[in-house]
Amino acid sequence: MYSRIKVQPLAGALGAEIFGVNLSAEFDSTTLEEVTRAYSEYQVIFFRDQDVSDRDLARFAHNFGELAVLPPHRQHPGSLPELLVIDKKPDVGLVFGWEWHSDTTHLEIPPLGSVLAAKILPPVGGDTMFANQYMAYDTLSNGMKSMLEGVNAVHSNGRILASLEVDDVLAAGQGLGTGHTTLSAVHPVVRTHPVTGKKALFVNRMHTERFEDMSIGESAPLLNFLYEHSTRPEFTCRFRWQPGSVAFWDNRCLQHLALDDYPGQRRLMHRVQVRGTKPV
């Protein structure tokens, strides 16, 4: 099935480690086709022992589309405008990505996917978990699927903004009073993947506020059920980071969670995102 790369599944639900690839070099067309196929099949793929610069990371991500430029308050001085530096220092309590979520779904066009590279890791802990949203949708009852068909939900960055004053990803001296804007977007609760054509559940606890044309209180019971259902253990995989590890996940059909289990330790990660398309 694969001639240029070796693919080792990580769990029954999703995820695979890819071997035989050097992310600091250009891909030939066959290698790129096989990596793309593995990405589509497993939703999140992992690479070990990669010595990558930030430009290497950006070049790899660019194989899959245009990169998303960060807003000014997220940019790191002196780095690429597309590079997000996630630096959890020992004296900071907040862990970036602490809840199950899909990245930046409060935007009208959320990213296709994210590429994350480990730079500095705690001695133990700091794993990332992923949940397959194809499976989350497929295992709903026919009645629930019918009820959710054509329903939209409002996504917002309000919960993120509430944490910014203690989020050390921000540039020094910035806080809630410096003009950060609450952004929101409306997306279908059930999304059709633009490549595979499969349906995926597309709500998440971090960003989804309510159903369209409903109040937060009215929406909460069903949304809470969907949040719990979408991250059932049998839908997940867990990745243990090592120095040189890189992950590339499909934001259109999975959620992820950064585990907060390394108090007093530093964890430094570099991330770029690939621009997506409007969810339908």
pLDDT greater at residue 36 or residue 157:
36
Of 19-23, 29-33, 155-159, the poorest mean pLDDT is in 155-159
97 conformational bin, left if phi > 0, alpha if psi -120 to 50, beta if neither: left
Residue that is written with structure tokens 């809630």 in the block: 176
Q: What is the mean pLDDT of residues 26-36?
A: 97
- Under DSSP, is residue 91 helix (H, G, I), strand (E, B) or coil? coil
Closest to 156 in 3D by CA, of 210, 201, 113? 210
Residue that is written with structure tokens 């990596």 in the block: 35
Q: What is the mean pLDDT of residues 110-122?
A: 97
Q: What is the mean pLDDT of residues 31-35?
A: 98
d(CA 202, CA 254): 8
Burial level of 228, CB count in 10 A (0-12/13-18/19+)?
Answer: exposed
pLDDT given for residue 170 in this prediction: 41
Q: How confident is the model at residue 163 (pLDDT cuts 50, 70, 90)?
A: low
pLDDT greater at residue 248 or residue 96:
248
Q: What is the mean pLDDT of residues 10-37?
A: 97
pLDDT in tens, 247-273: 999 999 999 999 999 999 999 999 999
232-243: buried (b, 16+ CB within 10 Å) or exposed (e) per residue? Answer: eeebbbebebee
Whether residue 169 has pLDDT greater than 50:
no
Of 53-62, 89-98, 215-224, the poorest mean pLDDT is in 89-98
As a whole number, the mean pLDDT across the chain is: 91
Whether residue 43 has pLDDT greater than 60:
yes
Active site amino acids: 101, 103, 256, 271
Output the six-digit token pair for 104: 């930046």
pLDDT in tens, 84-93: 999 999 988 7
Instruction: Give this prediction's pTM.
Output: 0.91
Task: Answer for the pair 166, 216: CB distance below 8 angstroms, yes or no.
Answer: no
Task: Answer for the pair 144, 199: CB distance below 8 angstroms, yes or no.
Answer: no
Whether residue 275 has pLDDT greater than 90:
yes
Give the length of the chain.
Answer: 280
Output the CA torsion sign for 79, 257, 73, 208: positive
Domains in the chain, start-ordered, CATH in brackets? 6-274 (3.60.130.10)
Q: What percent of the chain has pLDDT over 70?
A: 91
